[in-house]
Amino acid sequence: MRRVFLHIFLVTPLIPALLWSEIAHAANLNDGNTAWVLTSTALVLFMTLPGLALFYAGLVQSKNVLSVMMHCFSIACLVSVLWLIVGYSFAFGEGNSLFGGLAKVFLSGVSKETLSGDIPETVFFTFQMTFAIITPCLIVGAFPERMKFSAVLIFSGLWLLLVYAPVTHWVWGGGWLSEMGVMDFAGGLVVHATAGASALLLASMLGPRKDFPSGLKPPHNPGLSMIGAAMLWIGWFGFNAGSALAADVSAGMAMLVTHIAAATASLVWMMIEWIKFGKPSLIGIITGMVAGLATITPASGYVGPLGGICIGILGGLLCYWAVGLVKSKLSIDDSLDVFAVHGVGGIAGTLLASVFGATVFGGGGLPEGATIGSQLGIQSIGVVATVLWSLAFTFLIVKLTSAIVGLRVSNDEITQGLDVSTHGESGYNL
Amino acid sequence: MRRVFLHIFLVTPLIPALLWSEIAHAANLNDGNTAWVLTSTALVLFMTLPGLALFYAGLVQSKNVLSVMMHCFSIACLVSVLWLIVGYSFAFGEGNSLFGGLAKVFLSGVSKETLSGDIPETVFFTFQMTFAIITPCLIVGAFPERMKFSAVLIFSGLWLLLVYAPVTHWVWGGGWLSEMGVMDFAGGLVVHATAGASALLLASMLGPRKDFPSGLKPPHNPGLSMIGAAMLWIGWFGFNAGSALAADVSAGMAMLVTHIAAATASLVWMMIEWIKFGKPSLIGIITGMVAGLATITPASGYVGPLGGICIGILGGLLCYWAVGLVKSKLSIDDSLDVFAVHGVGGIAGTLLASVFGATVFGGGGLPEGATIGSQLGIQSIGVVATVLWSLAFTFLIVKLTSAIVGLRVSNDEITQGLDVSTHGESGYNL
Amino acid sequence: MRRVFLHIFLVTPLIPALLWSEIAHAANLNDGNTAWVLTSTALVLFMTLPGLALFYAGLVQSKNVLSVMMHCFSIACLVSVLWLIVGYSFAFGEGNSLFGGLAKVFLSGVSKETLSGDIPETVFFTFQMTFAIITPCLIVGAFPERMKFSAVLIFSGLWLLLVYAPVTHWVWGGGWLSEMGVMDFAGGLVVHATAGASALLLASMLGPRKDFPSGLKPPHNPGLSMIGAAMLWIGWFGFNAGSALAADVSAGMAMLVTHIAAATASLVWMMIEWIKFGKPSLIGIITGMVAGLATITPASGYVGPLGGICIGILGGLLCYWAVGLVKSKLSIDDSLDVFAVHGVGGIAGTLLASVFGATVFGGGGLPEGATIGSQLGIQSIGVVATVLWSLAFTFLIVKLTSAIVGLRVSNDEITQGLDVSTHGESGYNL
Amino acid sequence: MKLVMAIIKPSKLDAVREALTDLGVQGLTVSEVKGFGRQKGQTEIYRGAEYQIEFVPKIRVDIVIDDPDLDRVIETIRSVANTDKIGDGKIFVLEVSEAMRIRTGETGANAL
Amino acid sequence: MKLVMAIIKPSKLDAVREALTDLGVQGLTVSEVKGFGRQKGQTEIYRGAEYQIEFVPKIRVDIVIDDPDLDRVIETIRSVANTDKIGDGKIFVLEVSEAMRIRTGETGANAL
Amino acid sequence: MKLVMAIIKPSKLDAVREALTDLGVQGLTVSEVKGFGRQKGQTEIYRGAEYQIEFVPKIRVDIVIDDPDLDRVIETIRSVANTDKIGDGKIFVLEVSEAMRIRTGETGANAL
Ligand SMILES: Nc1ncnc2c1ncn2[C@@H]1O[C@H](COP(=O)(O)OP(=O)(O)O)[C@@H](O)[C@H]1O
Ligand SMILES: Nc1ncnc2c1ncn2[C@@H]1O[C@H](COP(=O)(O)OP(=O)(O)O)[C@@H](O)[C@H]1O
Ligand SMILES: Nc1ncnc2c1ncn2[C@@H]1O[C@H](COP(=O)(O)OP(=O)(O)O)[C@@H](O)[C@H]1O
């Protein structure tokens, strides 16, 4: 605790650093902010690899554990290359209000020295790439244990370009939603609503796992999922607080409310299970955590601690309810609940941002001139547009993929497990 | 994505932040330091989730693996919420020299823009929260495989408020120990001595595992513990070097000596086992690592490389000896050796800080006017006060918890394992 | 290692950074840069513990899983202590152009306040230590499941001092290779070529596993290897972008090209397997990832996105080919392909740096006056010198180790597995 | 009494269990085994090298029944576990001279 | 000789082993099995959905003994493994026609 | 027909399988078991405390064969699995009254 220390030794080494930061300011690149965004980039990649891969892998049967990891890993690689070639340009090129265009294809016009704000554009590019990676990987939870590997890759690649990149442009790339003043700090619309809506549709087009809904086997390794969940939590600090693109007061508050929402939603889910079934489960508490994090994401830069708690509570309740709804009412085998947790959470958070972002609820304030009501309208337009676009293009992409390579592996391969039948290896040779 | 935002709404929710960043600049927000403390916060949370959870989970039987993870995860969530509501205020409110008071309850009076030193107070709050999380989680090692889940939560919540928060106030919150000049850089007293002493008492009040001491089964998954241990090591960089609250020379030296002490103590433990039993074990070397890290913690901001080595050696030797003492002599089933490793290490390190902190032993120097002897006196007072307070309140809390819900699950539930009996799930469905 | 570079090429791609760093020098400690190098240090340690330990542990048989972890963990500890005592001095002492000398033994002359560039020298020391740790740990992949534990430690300790430290001095410590202008941003020569060449020789002197090549068992836990691989990827951000020793434009581009090369090489390896065997495997894609990362390492500070892609493709192809070569043609049981992946990757990347570093291929430019051809010559000298030195001293150290304690455990111990026979514990008690 | 020891494909376990329950079988015991026979294990390829997996995962179901039930039990298992593919498995029958229910001490057919 | 095949609760393994050792039994072989019988497996609930676990973990102990020891062995197992709860398990006895100790080639009761 | 049940050291499995195949045995079934006998389990030490591992990992090989092959099979297993060290294991022989190949319905020696 140097803080305490300072009281003891009055002369400190920090003075030169202060002067220095003046100079840095003049020269535009801010090294403190750059350091934080570099770190956040590592944290967000960590969410997918190995975080999300483990979270999902623990939930499936042991004969499909490697296939789920393979999905996440290969999508991450594919998206990275596509992002460099065209994705980034589609999302962050000047373009028009609908589409970023081709100006930044293969980072053309961006040199090592180009800045984006006060950090290098290369850093902004890589940071954004980690968001582009995790979003299609979230959808993996909709189709495990039965989808063809070639279809997974084709779907994910097209989805990145036709759903993710455009919506990102609308919201963060200067497109029409951002012009309208939509608030989405770290991806309630861009990441969670797109992935959630698309997951639900894909799952229903693909059809359920062989033994759905009765006859399903419990998660083969909840501990593995816990490891993944914990990594998601840690990485989410980079996701939300990194979205401030600076090591500043915004980042600080974003990290705080992110953490509080995660903790609150975890407890909510745990209590529901405890009361309903008498057994609070590890799978339950970590699912609550993801629900809380997805819900706070769009609001994380706007709300205060009170907002964090309330959003955590609402996120936990709503997503719990949605899980049951999809499984029992809709009977769609969105196997690992991508829509119920990410979709519902992301949408709820986007709407709630306009409530808890208001100063009256302890938030940092809505955009000038906006009221809670007016902002709620804008947020709703964002939600509707994002969901419709995601559904429409997911439909097209799935049809196309189905036509090219087909969607499902054979029943024999399902029985054998995708690890052996598709990837030629087995998860546990203990 | 603030960058994009800036181009679009010239006046928007971020305005306060914008203005603020001007002010902050004036008021000295240091972005490099903020970046490092944000990073350290992530690192310290990583120590608990999943680090400590894995470290402990690998050491128990496979039928209790999830329950241990659940303990760590749920305590982390509970503590986070309590910390926001009252814990932080108890610890870091102005208050008096014994108690922080209620002024900062629910962060009242702290806005996004408030600074603590040259970093945002929100960042200081969250960083400190990660310490508040890990400390009661350390105690999980005292009671696995037999304690009631409701008792775990009640105990941990009360313990945070009645033991952790007050002691933190004394040492880091401007309380009487800090006034007296006690040296505890990153938590030898605050974290390790409180947790260690409380763990020992709790274990003895709770009673041993069913087959203690003969008939115990070996750790079910030492590799899992190794993963956790490695994460603890990495995270400890944030714990100790982050406690400098700056990316400065103090942080640099703290990281260096932390690393060296961990490495040295690991080798010491390995050599003891090699010589005594002919078989240096993985469990052994990682236990040595934790011992070294716990011991260097209070001293990490004061000592030099020589101090790091010596503290590593002494930490390894003392904790090894203490493990045998508790198990064979005291016959207390402090199952995963919380007291022997954290308690003994934290106390030893607190005392050794006054020795190796002295310039003559390569340290950065003791507080002005202090000699090794005088400082050792102050450190000893710190140790005695912390241990007595911890024991007294742990005793009361355990009695209270026992009265409300009882402490132990039934023998049948123990036999079945807590995973199935309490949480309704099983760890490995391979 | 920009620091060394600065002394050598006064006008180069790095000029902006240079000027910058001059100013910084005047202004002393830079907190943003320090924050990033502190973070990078944690990231690079994370690569070894638990990253590399898991990557390797998943590839062996379940009866040797702990022994591999133990190798990595104990080597990390041993190297840390040796690095403090003499290693750092051997590598970064002033010395002469061949050897760093003894001036910085036990960090003598380095105080808490000493700077190295614009960061504390303690931070530079610890950052470099994490490189010194991972390099001998890479060699663990050459000898698992059969080498004596005492021999592992003796070999690794001597190897650090006689191979790693001198080569580091040549390349980054102001030695003859750096004087000659060799380009090795983050360790193609220093880390990967030394480890790879030594691994091959050691493997052939040690002899193969009992059932090599027919009769080998498949990796016991590919998922564990995936976790390790993902951690390597994340940590490599610190390895390569941290080697800029600043949170600046160099770090930004280094992270970008590192990521792209990893993703590209992963896809290349996946496609080869898919085409050749019909089954793209998880082990395959993560091996490709390591190949891409090893290959980009020396070039990561010099090339642009195009270079990243090309190096990724070439790295994937070359290493895939080399794996087959070593196993089938040379029949050397370099069990986990250290030479084929790290050695070949590191050497290829070192040579390719002179191609894709050139502005014509989108790089940041070669050192003043150098052409691709001339630089290729220098790089080749670097490769030859590094490889020959590594082979010569590895030969001597292996002979010496063999004379002192012998190299192999008995066949009975091999059959029983090293976990039980050497370390007295078992990996999975499920 | 007879011990019917059936080696079947893992994917057939649930179907076999259900069919036997329908038949009135009160209990059975299952173990995970590895089989070697006409059906060969798959070949796994790691980093280009082939690893021959000699054994195929199978499930062994042990059912102790009273003599009169033997034919029906065998026939039921056969019909449910059959996929007409190599590796469907075997049914072996052994004589059991005694059976006891631990809880009650009942013996003979009553113990089943 | 007889093969005594006892299906017991996992928590009773150590007690059974000790009791048999006290009785003079020289060796036994243990496998982890899953049982299906009157005792039903637990229901696990994940994210609100119920998963029925059909099988209960059991331990199978195989002991080959000489004929005269049969009754004592059965009685010992029964008394130690009994908890009076459903699912305590079964003891089955089969005839063994031959036994050999691999190390020495001894056969019959000498091999046990 | 006979069921040959061999408890052997895990490291001998491959050799036994190969020798039996050479002998013309068409199939066998393998399970991982834990043995208790003259050979004691190792002692593991964690943090200075001793943990006695009572059981030793063994492999159980079940082979059903036609009567005339019995002696050759036993002799082969014995010679291959023997290391002259305690714990090499046992071979037990039981009578099999019936065998059926699920795929074809063949019975008796034809089913093997
Ligand atoms: N003689 C035998 N003794 C014991 N188990 C056998 C024997 N023959 C076959 N098995 C078991 O039956 C399984 C199926 O046998 P296999 O020859 O592959 O196919 P099929 O029964 O369709 O001819 C094997 O994997 C093995 O577990
Ligand atoms: N007919 C049977 N054949 C083989 N195993 C049986 C049979 N009946 C029961 N078992 C085994 O015995 C165990 C206990 O039987 P169960 O019916 O649950 O309780 P109980 O023996 O107390 O009546 C089962 O889990 C199963 O493993
Ligand atoms: N009476 C028995 N019944 C069943 N299995 C036995 C019996 N005796 C020994 N075994 C099995 O044989 C293995 C080897 O026996 P052990 O007494 O250790 O060595 P050896 O056979 O060389 O005398 C044991 O681990 C156990 O699995």
Task: State the pLDDT at residue B15.
Answer: 32
- pLDDT < 50 regions, chain C: 1-26
CA A220 – CA C341 distance, rounded (Å): 33
Q: Do C424 and F11 touch (CB under 8 A)?
A: no
What are the residues whose beta carbons fall under 8 Å from the beta carbon of C384, sequence distance 6 or more? none
Tell me the three state secondary structure of residue E95: strand
Distance CA B323, CA B333 (A): 11
pLDDT recorded at residue F53: 85
Q: Give the minimum alpha-carbon distance from B430 to chain C in angstroms, rounded to a whole number.
A: 10
> Which chains would you list as touching C if contact means 3+ CB atom pairs under 8 Å?
A, B, D, F
pLDDT of residue B27: 61
Question: With contact defined as beta carbons under 8 Å apart, do A66 and A54 qualify?
Answer: no
pLDDT at C27: 52
Give the count of alpha carbons within 13 A of C267, CB side only: 20
The tally of CA atoms less than 13 A away on the side-chain side of residue D23 is 23
Name chain D's partners: 3 or more CB pairs within 8 A.
A, C, E, F
Query: What tens digit of pLDDT does each residue of B141-199 get?
Result: 999 999 999 999 999 999 999 999 999 999 999 999 999 999 999 999 999 999 999 99
Q: Which of F4, F7, F11, F62 to mutate to test the pocket of ligand 3 (most atoms within 8 A of CB)?
A: F7
Report how far residue B74's alpha carbon sits from residue B82's, in angstroms, rounded to the nearest whole number.
12
Q: Which of C59, C69, C106 to mutate to test the interface with B (most CBs of B within 10 A)?
A: C69
Find the angle CA(C34)-CA(C38)-CA(C44) to the nearest 5 degrees.
140
B177-191, B343-357, C360-374, D40-54: the lowest-pLDDT one: D40-54
Inter-chain CB proximity A283 and E46 less than 8 Å: yes
| Distance separating the N- and C-terminal Cα atoms of chain E | 10
8 A C-beta contact, residue C17 and residue B231: no
CA of A215 to the centre of ligand 1 (A): 28
- Amino acid residing at A361: F
Least Cα distance to B346 among B211, B183, B166 occurs for: B183
pLDDT of E40 reads 84
Chain segment D14-29, per-residue pLDDT in tens = 999 999 999 999 999 9
Short-list C53, C45, C231, CA closest to B222: C53
Nearest CA in chain C to D42: C218
* pLDDT, position C12: 34
Residue E42: predicted pLDDT: 80
In one-letter notation, the amino acid at residue B91 is: A
Q: What is the Cα–Cα distance from B78 to A289, expressed in whole angstroms? A: 12
- Predicted confidence at residue C17, as pLDDT, reads 37
Asked if the model's pLDDT at residue B2 lies above 70, the reply is no
Q: Which of C165, C105, C169 is nearest to C135 (CA)?
A: C165
Q: Which of B3-17, B384-398, C208-222 has the lowest mean pLDDT?
A: B3-17
Residue with tokens 């005047």: C26
How would you write the pLDDT of chain A (430 residues) with one tens digit per residue?
Answer: 333 333 333 333 333 333 333 334 445 899 999 999 999 999 999 999 999 999 999 999 999 999 999 999 999 999 999 999 999 999 999 999 999 999 999 999 999 999 999 999 999 999 999 999 999 999 999 999 999 999 999 999 999 999 999 999 999 999 999 999 999 999 999 999 999 999 999 999 999 998 898 888 999 999 999 999 999 999 999 999 999 999 999 999 999 999 999 999 999 999 999 999 999 999 999 999 999 999 999 999 999 999 999 999 999 999 999 999 999 999 999 999 999 999 999 999 999 999 999 999 999 999 999 999 999 999 999 999 999 999 999 999 999 999 999 999 999 999 999 999 999 999 999 8
Closest partner residue to D26 (CB to CB) among E2, E37, E91 is E37
> Residue B360 has what pLDDT?
96
User: Which segments of A207-301 does DSSP mark as H helices, in order?
Assistant: 222-236, 249-277, 282-296
Summarize pLDDT for E38-73 with one digit per residue, the tens: 998 888 899 988 888 889 999 999 999 999 999 999
pLDDT at site B369 = 94
What does the pLDDT average to over E68-81? 97
Quick one: tokens of E5?
Answer: 């095949």
* Residue B18: CA count within 13 A, CB half-sphere: 13
Helix (H, G, I), strand (E, B) or coil at A362: coil
Neighbours of F107 (CB within 10 A): 14
Q: Which residues from D are below 8 Å from E60, CB to CB?
A: 29, 31
Q: Per the omega criterion (within 30 degrees of 0), is the bond before B213 cis?
A: yes
Of B64, B22, B69, the residue nearest B50 (C-alpha) = B69
Tokens of A181: 């003043």
CB contact at 8 A, B74 and A280:
yes
3-class secondary structure, C358: coil
Provide the pLDDT for residue B211. Answer: 85
Ligand 3 atom nearest the C-alpha of E112 is 1
Q: Which ligand is nearest to the CA of E105?
A: 3
**Full-model pTM:** 0.95
CB-defined site of ligand 2, < 6 Å: D 26-29, 62-64, 101, 103, 112; E 7, 35-39, 56, 58, 86-90
d(CA C295, CA C258): 9
What is the tens place of the pLDDT at every residue in B93-126?
Answer: 999 999 999 999 999 999 999 999 999 999 999 9
Residue nearest ligand 2's atom 8 by CA: D27
Q: Give the minimum alpha-carbon distance from E4 to chain A in angstroms, rounded to a whole number.
A: 29
For residue A164, what are its two tokens?
């993710």
Taking CB atoms and a 6 Å cutoff, what residues make up the pocket around ligand 1? D 7, 35-39, 56, 58, 86-90; F 26-29, 62-64, 101, 103, 112
Contacts of A382 (CB under 8 A, 6+ apart): A171, A177, A180, A182, A184, A189, A350
Q: Is C152 on the interface with B (CB under 8 A)?
A: no
Q: What CA–CA distance (Å, rounded) separates B371 from B376? A: 8
DSSP codes, A187-208: -IIIIIIHHHHHHHHHHHHH--
Tell me the two tokens of residue B283.
């469990």
Residues E62/E77, Cβ–Cβ less than 8 Å: no
Phi, psi (degrees; rounded to nearest 5) at A103: -60, -35
Closest by alpha carbon to C230, among A43, A164, D48, B46? A43
Residue B17 phi, psi dihedral angles, 5° rounding: -60, -40
- Does E54 contact A at CB distance below 8 Å? no
- DSSP symbols for C365-415: -PSTT--HHHHHHHHHHHHHHHHHHHHHHHHHHHHHHHHHH-SB--HHHHH
Residue A356 near residue A310 (C-beta atoms within 8 A): yes
C-alpha C369/C-alpha C380 separation (Å) is: 18
In the prediction, which pLDDT does E72 show? 97
Beta carbons within 8 Å of E49's beta carbon, 6+ residues apart: A213, A216, A327
What's the one-letter identity of residue F38? R
CB-based contact F8 E100, cutoff 8 Å? no
pLDDT, position A256: 98
SS3 of residue E49 by DSSP:
strand
Residue A108, SS3?
coil
| Beta strands E90-101; F56-65: pairing state | unpaired
Helix (H) or strand (E) holding F90: strand F90-95
The closest CB to that of D90, out of F17, F94, F111, belongs to F111
Q: Which residues of B touch F54 (CB under 8 A)?
A: none
Asked if E67 has any chain B CB less than 8 Å from its own CB, the reply is no
Asked if ipTM goes beyond 0.90, one says yes
D74: tokens are: 């065998």
